[in-house]
A and B are shown apart, each in its own frame.
Chain A
Amino acid sequence: MDFILKPEYEMCRDSYRRFAETVAAPIAIDVDEQELFPLDTVNQMGKAGFMGIPIPAQYGGQGADNLAYAICVEELSRVCATTGVIVSAHTSLCMAPILENGTPEQKEKYLPKLASGKELGAFGLTEPGAGTDAAGQKTTAVLEGDHYVLNGSKIFITNGRYANVYIIMAMTDPSKGTRGISAFIVEKGFEGFDIGPAEKKMGIRGSATCELIMKDCIVPKENLLGVEGKGFSLAMKTLDGGRIGIAAQALGIAQGALDKTVAYVKERKQFGKSIAQFQNTQFMLADMATQVEAARLLVYKAATYKDGKLPYSVEASRAKLFAAETAMSVTTKAVQLHGGYGYMREYEVERMMRDAKITEIYEGTSEVQKMVISSALLK
């Protein structure tokens, strides 16, 4: 068992961190305050090779792996959780299912543009009546000659407004329940495809979370992703991978809050000395750092399992459960140690605490992760 990261990962981390500090951090407050989708950052990430990290070079990706990708999401989220989730949704929820289930033609057509960052990806599973109960899909897809006609809507879609390519789940045979769900590659601009206004959110406010509306949306037959009727299993496997990205995002948020807090407590003076000299501060920092490192090990383990082609569903659930709870706990402590300043927006830990909450909810709530973990124990 090797707990020391290989030097190529450390070198990748240096590159991600320099980018995050130089490009993403200076605008993180504006991204949050103004609900600004950081389009220029996304374009720069495309040029830097961050938008296709685990995608093979033959499809225009970096030919690196999921561990290198997780570290990227971690480092971006350390300074801006919005930027982190943009990369995570694009990579894990759009490119990964195309890579893992697509025909050679679909991979050739979509992956190079996505992996180079020229186009952005998104994923549509959630509906107003189908959240954790994802099987309750109402969106339908009916085959008519050479195309499917999709009707329905998807909500809370990350990258919604700015994506060009969407993986959409729809019922091709409602009588078969989960076995009647199929996955489709839908392009922005397809007839009958529309995007609703951005949602007003608590955190990750720049990620352009929108509703997708399909009204007699025409999707060519060749855009069926995988086998008809196997969409539910495709979506669940996609979310297994996505959880590594979100766990990495949660880890990054926690590390960012810890770093800000360590810097702050050294400077802040009360009772004639820096608050770092109080044992209460020291013990809280020790707890925070230990939680962060434990989360990191779980996240890297899950990514390493996926890279090693081992079953990783439970590992990803554990990583996401623990990292998300760590993000919430560490950011809350970070605000506490900042005192009144921590409640003010300019100190950023306030934003990190708001950003952390979603990691306990999306791509499977913490409760869903517990279901996955416990069902593996009890089967």
Chain B
Amino acid sequence: MKIIVTIKQVPDTTEVKLDPVTGTLIREGVPSIMNPDDKAGLEAALQLRDKIPGSTVTALSMGPAQASVMMREALAMGADRAILLCDRAFAGSDTLATSSSIAAAIRTLEFDLVVTGRQAIDGDTAQVGPQIAEHLHIPNVSYAAEIVPEFGSLKVKRMFDDRYQWQRVKTPCLLTALSELAQPRYLAPGAVFRAWREKEVETWNVSNIEIDPGYLGLAGSPTKVKKSFPKAVKPAGCVVAAENGEAADIIMKKLREHFII
């Protein structure tokens, strides 16, 4: 099975502080990490590869030259290849331009399965994965929390807040990974040394892919950001077991208790 995993370098948002005046992220001095959902997707792909003889895993990213550190990390985790799309032409890409460019890169490679993270912790859009599937005209199964390979297909557990769903999907397909899909391994020192000293990160520019320039970078990005603000923390809530007819009264009581009505 030929597996491609898309990964993104993001600021470690657990270390990010907000500018109290502008409300924007202070990125200075914040370490960069591999997006957690992507890392879980890569780990799951590596485990799948090790179960199915003859499989390969290619890590693919689009980003600035500094992202090559993350590509080395992907190699140290065990990826067979690491390809970084790095070109000024990609600068300013929104999710559509990003997915167009990544899909164009994937078209040049052989694949049975594409794994992306569900969403990146810096943008939280969850759009790039499904968009890549659309560009490639392959089925997409989002929120993957478990993958079971079957002959010519995959059984995927999709996890929601309150339930899960098993889906069977034929390959080639795309899955978006939740961070619970797999616990990323601890990097073995020897694997880290080989990733830096023996392996190569392949850097591709726009000439390595076939894409209409209109879909590239800022020009190919229809998204207009109106305002950025921190996500409000959602309280845990409470579950009340109620008999028929009681529920409305309980809700009314709770709303009054909190001076909402």
- The residues of A with any CB-CB pair to B shorter than 8 Å are 6-8, 11-12, 14-15, 18-19, 48-50, 53, 57, 61-65, 68-69, 72
Do B190 and A57 touch (CB < 8 A)? yes
Counting from the closest, the 3 A-B pairs by CB-CB distance are: A49-B188, A62-B190, A15-B187
Contact of A11 among B72, B185, B190 (CB under 8 A): B72
B191 x A49 contact (CB < 8 A): yes
Q: Which of B18-26, B172-180, B193-201, B223-231 contacts A (4 or more CB under 8 A)?
A: B193-201
Q: B191-221: which have CB < 8 Å to A?
A: 191-197
Bound-state Cα–Cα, A175 to B148, Å? 69
A137 to B197: give the CA distance in the assembly, Å.
45
State whether A12 and B186 are in contact (beta carbons under 8 Å apart), knowing that A7-B69, A7-B72 are contacts in the complex.
Answer: no
B36 vs chain A, min Cβ distance (A): 12
* Contacts across chains A and B counted by CB atoms under 8 Å: 60
* Interface: B29 (CB within 8 A): no
A11 with B188: in contact, given A6-B196, A68-B193 (CB under 8 Å)? no
- Specify which chain A residues have a CB less than 8 angstroms from the CB of B196 in the assembled complex: 6-8, 11
B186 near A72 (CB under 8 angstroms)? no
Can you identify 16 A-B contacts, CB atoms within 8 angstroms?
Answer: A7-B72, A8-B192, A11-B69, A11-B72, A11-B192, A11-B195, A12-B192, A15-B187, A19-B186, A48-B188, A49-B191, A50-B186, A62-B189, A62-B190, A62-B191, A68-B189
* B73 interface contact, C-beta 8 A: yes
CB distance from B185 to the nearest CB of A (A): 7
Considering the chains assembled together, what is the distance between the CA atoms of A8 and B188 in angstroms? Answer: 11
How many angstroms from the CA of A12 to the CA of B187 in the assembled complex? Answer: 7
Interface centre among A11, A14, A50, A63 (most CB of B within 10 A): A11
Which residues from chain B contact A6 at a C-beta distance below 8 Å?
A: 196
Min CB distance A73 to B, Å, is 12
Q: A11-B73, A49-B186 are in contact. List 13 more A-B contacts (CB 8 A).
A: A8-B196, A11-B72, A11-B187, A11-B192, A11-B196, A12-B187, A15-B186, A15-B192, A19-B186, A49-B190, A50-B186, A57-B190, A62-B189
Question: Residues of A contacting B69 with CB < 8 Å?
Answer: 7, 11
A299–B190 Cα distance when bound, in Å, is 21
* A69–B193 alpha-carbon span in the complex (Å): 12
Q: Is B5 engaged at the interface, CB distance under 8 Å to the other chain?
A: no
Give Cα distance in the complex from A64 to B186, angstroms.
Answer: 15
Given the complex, which residues of A lie within 8 Å of B187, measured CB to CB?
11-12, 14-15
In the assembled complex, the Cα of A62 lies from the Cα of B197 at a distance in Å of: 14
Contacts of B72 in A (CB 8 A): 7, 11
Cα of A67 to Cα of B192 in the assembled complex, Å: 13
CB pair B186–A8 under 8 Å, yes or no, is no
Given A7-B69, A11-B76, the answer on whether A48 and B185 have CB atoms closer than 8 Å is yes
| Nearest-Cβ distance from residue B41 to partner chain A, whole angstroms | 18
Minimum C-beta distance from B10 to chain A (A): 15
Looking at B76, B189, B194, the one whose CB has the most chain A CB atoms below 10 A away is B189
**A61 B190 Cβ-Cβ under 8 A:** yes
Residues of B close to A49: CB separation below 8 A:
186, 188-191
Q: How far is the CA of A6 from the CA of B69 in the complex (A)?
A: 12
- Give the contacts of B66-81 with A (CB-CB under 8 A): 69, 72-73, 76
| C-alpha spacing A281/B215, complex, angstroms | 57
Per the bound structure, the CA–CA distance linking A300 and B72 in Å amounts to 23
Shortest Cβ distance from residue A29 to the other chain B in the assembled complex, whole angstroms: 22
Q: A53 touching B189 by the CB < 8 A rule?
A: yes
Nearest-Cβ distance from residue B48 to partner chain A, whole angstroms? 19
Which chain B residues in 147-198 approach chain A with CB under 8 Å? Answer: 185-197
Across the interface, name the chain A residue whose C-beta is closest to B33.
A14
> Do A8 and B190 have beta carbons less than 8 Å apart?
no
Bound: A63/B195 CA distance, A: 13
A63 to chain B, nearest CB (A): 5
In the complex, the chain B residue whose C-beta lies closest to that of A50 is B189
- Whole-angstrom distance from the CB of B180 to the nearest CB of chain A? 15
